[in-house]
Homo-oligomer: A and B are copies of this chain.
């Protein structure tokens, strides 16, 4: 029906930074997309910008049910239980995905409602410290990692495989890299490279602020960059870290052990933090090597350095291929 090969319309619930940007990109690719937003102001702004938007959740879900749309829950975590219950009532046969940054908590709500055969988890690693429809824009997902979960894949129904395939198509349609990862592995990974980063940024911001005017006056680019995400609204940081607490705590413990070792090395008669400095530098070199081909390119065209695996969903061995891609942090395409 469109140039993206999506087999169904897309119905987005929540038109904030992620949901709004997704709607803009899909519409730009001529995908049949419509959405719901609770806030009247944002819905009006989206409508005035030419998008197909409603503030009536029930009517939107009934429409999704009638045209067999895929529903994207693009709200923060706290709204998910209410949305799932509304979907069960008004769109009982639609496939569902989401964009919540923590996947075990969402999957737990899905399993409580026995919706596993209708649900594929998603998480686009994109965004800014801003939020809301007014912050949404086209192109935000270009070459961003967009995790797609596959815990339900072994022995899944044809219906689920078709849904999973359409989620991949949607991800690729907006220019993102589709990265398969099981719920627990996703949550452990983002605890390391996102949630801990937030905890550290808050801490640095507070300690720097404690230094008063002189310290703040001397703060330069390294302090600014390292505390940038402390500008994220506290409720969003809480939603991420608290919902993923089970994965954040062991990662925070790893960090605390390194920091206590550093402290012990600094209180010696001859301070020596070579162990931390050298391990950190080596880790950074590996990160840069891995990411060298993306983001920092001098070319205006963003490219990706993630390994690519092409697979055919539902065929024998495809779960093994997904596990292989997951282990490599690789992206997938379908054929």
A200-226 interface bits toward B, Cβ cutoff 8 Å, 1 = contact, 0 = none = 111111111111111111111111111
Tell me, in angstroms, the Cα distance from A199 to B258 when the chains sit together: 9
Cross-chain contact A181 with B277 (CB below 8 angstroms): no
Of the candidates B126, B200, B234, B267, which one forms a contact with A277 in the assembled complex, judged by CB atoms under 8 Å apart?
Answer: B234
A44 interface contact, C-beta 8 A: no
Q: With a CB–CB cut-off of 8 A, which chain B residues contact A253?
A: 263
Cross-chain contact B245 with A256 (CB below 8 angstroms): no
Tell me, in angstroms, the Cα distance from A166 to B125 when the chains sit together: 51
Cross-chain contact A205 with B249 (CB below 8 angstroms): no
Tell me, in angstroms, the Cα distance from A256 to B266 when the chains sit together: 14
Known contacts: A233-B281, A245-B267, A256-B256. The answer to whether A192 contacts B217 by CB under 8 A is: no
Most B CB within 10 A of own CB, among A190, A202, A229, A278: A202
A287 interface contact, C-beta 8 A: yes
Q: Which residue of B lies closest to A127 (CB)?
A: B220
Which residues 128-170 of A sit at the B interface, judged by CB distance below 8 A?
A: 144-145, 147
A327 interface contact, C-beta 8 A: yes
A302 interface contact, C-beta 8 A: no
Q: Select the stretch in A1-9, A45-53, A112-120, A235-243 that faces chain B.
A: A235-243
Known contacts: A201-B280, A256-B263. The answer to whether A274 contacts B216 by CB under 8 A is: no
Q: Which residue of B lies closest to A229 (CB)?
A: B222
Tell me, in angstroms, the Cα distance from A197 to B227 when the chains sit together: 9
Question: In angstroms, how far is the closest chain B Cβ from the Cβ of A226?
Answer: 5
Tell me, in angstroms, the Cα distance from A288 to B330 when the chains sit together: 37
Cross-chain contact A266 with B252 (CB below 8 angstroms): yes
6 A/B residue pairs, CB under 8 Å, sorted by A: A189-B215, A194-B220, A214-B326, A227-B283, A237-B281, A249-B266
Query: Given A192-B207, A194-B220, 6 other A-B contacts at CB below 8 A?
Result: A189-B218, A203-B276, A203-B280, A216-B329, A231-B281, A231-B284
